[in-house]
Chain A
Amino acid sequence: ELKEEFTRILKANNPYAPQNIVRYSFKKRAYKPINYVDQMAIHFSMNGNMILKDSDEGRRQSIKLSTTAAEKAPVETSAVTSEEAEIKDEDSTGDTQAAGEEEGEGSGTAEVAEAVEAVEAVEAEEPAPPRVKEQKLANRFNFIESASRTVNRPMQESACQTDPTPRKDFSATPTQWEIYDAYVEELQKIAMSKMKAKPKAQIAETEDKNKGRKLTPLESQSDDLPTFSDTAKVLERMVDQSGFDDIAQDFKYFEDASDEYRDQQGTLLPLWKFQADKTKRLAVTDISWNPKHKDLFAAGYGSYDFTKQGQGMLLVYTMKNPSFPEYIFSSESGIMCLDFHNDYPYLVAVGFYDGNVAIYNLNKATSQRSHKSSPKSGKHTEPVWQVKWQKDDIENNVNFFSISSDGRIVSWTLVKSGLVHTDIIKLSVEGTTTEGPEGLQLQNPGCGTSFDFHKEIDYLFLVGTEEGKIYKCSKFYSRQFLDVFEAHHMPVDSIRWNPYHMKVFISCSSDWTVKIWDHTIKTPMFIYNLNSAVGDVAWSPYSSTVFAAVTTDGKAHVFDLNINKYEALCTQLVVGKKKYKPTCIQFNPVYPVVIIGDERGHVTSLKLSPNLRKMPKVRR
Chain B
Amino acid sequence: MILLTMIARVADGLPLAASMQEDEQSGRDLQHYQSQAKQLCRKLNAQSPNRCTLEAGVMSFHYVIEHGVCYLALCEAVFPKKLVFGYLEVLQTEFNEQHGKKVPTVSRPYSFIEFDVYIQKTKKNYIDSRARRNLGSINTELQDVQRIMVANIEEVLQRGEALSALDTKASDLSSLSKKYRSDAKYLNTRSIYAKIAAGAVFFITLIVYMRFWWI
Q: Do A and B bind each other?
A: no
